[in-house]
Chains A and B, each alone.
Chain A
Amino acid sequence: DGGITQSPKYLFRKEGQNVTLSCEQNLNHDAMYWYRQDPGQGLRLIYYSQIVNDFQKGDIAEGYSVSREKKESFPLTVTSAQKNPTAFYLCASSLWGNQPQHFGDGTRLSIL
């Protein structure tokens, strides 16, 4: 079955560490997105990518980095520069243009 796989489901980070969240899709979608969800707030866009080897900053890109070396994969690195990384992170993908986005099950990141 086609879908989006995010791993791990739960992730703990020590202060000062970088961590990478995985997102893989086998839907043959061109576009992929990373969102952050905080309690009581709507999802906010961190980064998105329309095609391989290209990506754009979203509304809250500071402290994050991404890569898009393969169509299927769009990993997100939460760097030590992100001062408040504790949140729920969702990856999504879609065909390009005005198409529905398919979401993964999310990764919950916590700081130890």
Chain B
Amino acid sequence: KNEVEQSPQNLTAQEGEFITINCSYSVGISALHWLQQHPGGGIVSLFMLSSGKKKHGRLIATINIQEKHSSLHITASHPRDSAVYICAVKSTYTVSLGDSGGGADGLTFGKGTHLIIQP
């Protein structure tokens, strides 16, 4: 069974601080996603990566396939970055159990990291 673990679960920081959120997973994957969920509930996809590093503005995502680990970094954090950040993976192993369902082609999600940036 694929497990996705995020740390920390909750993080409060001051504006301007460098933020790191970690994600570890237990099986082989074809892709890892970082998502952002705002208080209203809507989710935005930040990154999809399968190797190396991606950068978008103040956000940087890295992945180490051998160690089954990814990090999301936020530089010069701002109160508007306050949100829940979710790591999700697409496993390379898909189980099909017919009518009994089970293991599907969607993503496996971590429980999220609740980030608060204080002014």
Binding site for B on A (CB under 8 A): 31, 33, 35, 40-45, 48, 50, 56-59, 61, 88, 90, 92, 98-106, 108
Contacts and interface: CB of A to CB of B under 8 A. Distances in A.
Interface string B90-117: 1000001001111111111111100000
A45 B104 contact: yes
Q: Which of B4, B101, B102: most chain A CB closer than 10 A?
A: B101
A46 to B, nearest CB: 9
A56 B105 contact: yes
Interface of B: 4, 30-31, 33, 35, 40-45, 48, 50, 86, 88, 90, 96, 99-112
Contacts of A42: 4, 86, 88, 108-112
Contacts of B41: 88, 90, 105-106, 108
A40 B45 contact: no
A98 B50 CA distance: 10
B48 A100 contact: yes
Given A42-B4, A101-B45, A58 B106 contact: yes
A90 B43 contact: yes
Given A42-B112, A106-B42, 20 more contacts: A35-B106, A40-B111, A42-B111, A43-B86, A43-B88, A43-B107, A44-B109, A48-B104, A50-B105, A56-B104, A57-B104, A59-B103, A88-B41, A90-B43, A92-B43, A100-B33, A102-B45, A103-B35, A103-B42, A105-B40
B13 to A, nearest CB: 22
A57 B90 CA distance: 16
B44 A103 contact: yes
A56 to B, nearest CB: 6
Nearest to A44: B109
Contacts of A35: 106, 109
18 contacts: A40-B111, A41-B111, A42-B86, A42-B111, A43-B109, A48-B104, A56-B101, A56-B104, A57-B99, A57-B101, A57-B102, A59-B101, A98-B48, A98-B90, A100-B45, A101-B107, A104-B42, A105-B42
B45 to A, nearest CB: 5
